[in-house]
């Protein structure tokens, strides 16, 4: 289900520095995922960033296995920006039972975030995720690149995902 951009309501002025994120983004080529405790994989993903005029951006990310098309991962939540600063927060719920608060800074059209708080269901799969760092970069060719690094109970922080998207709406 898409989260369409609301063209009838003005974007809250607090969010103007993040306007470049709005819309639907689809990967051109499959992204690559790896981590020492899993088999490397390729995936496709669609991102939806929308708003309803409040000082918050709504988002939904849907990832699928590149070959089998099997659903892999979903994330949804909100993006907030501290008024008058370049400080940004992502509030994220994942279908794996993990909930995150990531905060960071916007520099031009690059958003660098790191987890401040992680919570999980009592029956979450081990090893537990202990840290997440995420970078969104709007490249000069108009494509959006995302990298995600992760640390768990038994692995240090390292790159887990890398993917590039093109705007589809």
- What are the tens digits of pLDDT across the range 5-40? 556 899 999 999 999 999 999 998 999 999 999 999
CA 84/CA 97 separation, integer angstroms: 33
Asked, for residue 158, whether it belongs to a domain, the answer is yes
Asked, for residue 101, whether it belongs to a domain, the answer is yes
Single pTM value for the model: 0.92
pLDDT digits (tens, 9 = 90+) for 81-105: 999 999 999 999 999 999 999 999 9
Q: What is the tally of structural domains in the chain?
A: 1
The yes-or-no verdict on residue 121 having pLDDT over 90 is yes
Asked, for residue 5, whether it belongs to a domain, the answer is no
Q: And the tokens for 18?
A: 């993040």
Q: Show the domain range for 27.
A: 13-167
β-strands 155-167, 23-27: how paired?
A: antiparallel
Indicate which CATH number applies to the domain containing 142.
Answer: 2.40.128.20
Asked, for residue 8, whether it belongs to a domain, the answer is no
Q: Which of 100, 90, 72, 86 is nearest to 161 (CA)?
A: 72
Asked, for residue 26, whether it belongs to a domain, the answer is yes
CA 126/CA 154 separation, integer angstroms: 10
Tell me 18's DSSP state: G
């Amino acid at each position: 289900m898409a989260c369409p951009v609301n063209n009838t309501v003005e974007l809250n002025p607090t969010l103007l520095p993040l306007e470049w994120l709005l819309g639907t983004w689809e990967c051109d080529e499959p992204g690559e995922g790896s981590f020492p405790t899993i088999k490397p994989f390729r995936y496709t993903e669609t991102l939806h960033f929308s708003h309803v005029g409040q000082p918050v951006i709504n988002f939904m990310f849907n990832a699928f296995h590149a070959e089998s098309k099997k659903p892999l991962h979903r994330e949804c939540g909100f993006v907030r920006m501290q008024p008058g600063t370049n400080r940004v927060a992502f509030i994220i719920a994942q279908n794996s039972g993990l909930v995150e608060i990531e905060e960071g800074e916007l520099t031009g059209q690059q958003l660098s975030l790191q987890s401040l708080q992680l919570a999980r269901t009592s029956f979450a799969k081990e090893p537990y995720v202990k840290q997440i760092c995420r970078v969104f970069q709007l490249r000069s060719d108009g494509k959006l690149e995302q990298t995600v690094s992760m640390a768990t109970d038994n692995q240090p922080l390292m790159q887990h995902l890398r993917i590039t998207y093109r705007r589809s709406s």
